[in-house]
Amino acid sequence: MIGPSKLAGRLIQIGAVVAALAIWYLATRHQVTKSLFFPPLAQVWQELVRLAQAPDSYSAIQVTLLTIAKAYGIAVLLGIFTAYLVTRSRWATQVFEPLLSNMFAVPLTLFLPVFILFFGIGANSKVAYGAAYGFFPVALSTIAGFSAVDSHYIKAARSMGANGWEMFRHVLLPAAMPIVFSGLRVALVICFTSVLGGETISSIAGVGRKIALSAELLETARMYAWILFVVVLMASMNGLLSRLEAHRQEAAR
């Protein structure tokens, strides 16, 4: 059996995108679909150009990116710190690890109204919501990473007189890095989608609000333009993360 190559997969992928665009183009050209839901592609492109020229779009993008950065920063710092404290003793790990993973299984989206009640409708509630969502993957993967560190390393470092910070910085973190990194990656995607989701559902500013607003005003072409922007942003973020991880693995070798 001859397996298809990676190139074939890539070609099919590109072909599918081209086919989808062609179908969209032809369908809107010949009025097969409602132009309200699927506006002509040219119109989406015009809206994209218009948005790129409007200063208002940049302030929305700035709000969203800043909110994501804050939420992610809090999630990473709190997650790693919590994992460090929890893994100081095997007993604490046994107590807290199932607790955290069970809490992560309950959809935090349930609490979105509570976040809005506590932190208001502005960006702060999205920071809190994104940080709370991103905290769990960071903490869980860091706990897993720290628990899996070879105890010989820890004993050796301790017998050489490493203090708490040195142990964390030079032994635990580097040894656990592959597992921690997977958590950091998941958390970034989660922060990204939960901030955008929070903005879409109820907010006063940001990219998510722009998408919801365009939909409410039935400006579907503008909505697609914004969605396209978010998809490209997400794809480039994922690409960057993959490059970073490959680079890190290369450096570790």
The binding site for another protein (CB under 8 A) comprises: 1, 3-6, 8-10, 12-13, 16, 36-37, 91, 94-95, 98-99, 105-107, 109-114, 116-118, 192-194, 196-197, 200-202, 207-208, 211-212, 214-216, 218, 220, 223, 226-227, 230-231, 234-235, 238
From the CB of 197, what's the least distance to another protein, in Å? 4
From the CB of 162, what's the least distance to another protein, in Å? 28
Nearer to another protein, 66 or 227 (CB): 227
From the CB of 57, what's the least distance to another protein, in Å? 15
From the CB of 92, what's the least distance to another protein, in Å? 9
From the CB of 153, what's the least distance to another protein, in Å? 25
User: What is the spatial distance between Cα 72 and Cα 216, in angstroms, rounded to a whole number?
Assistant: 29
Nearer to another protein, 108 or 138 (CB): 108
Single-letter amino acid code for the residue at 219:
E
Nearer to another protein, 70 or 126 (CB): 126
Nearer to another protein, 8 or 21 (CB): 8
Nearer to another protein, 22 or 117 (CB): 117
User: What letters, b where the CB count within 10 A reaches 16 and e where it falls short, cover 106-138?
Assistant: eebeebbeebbeeeeeebebbbbbbbbbbbbbb
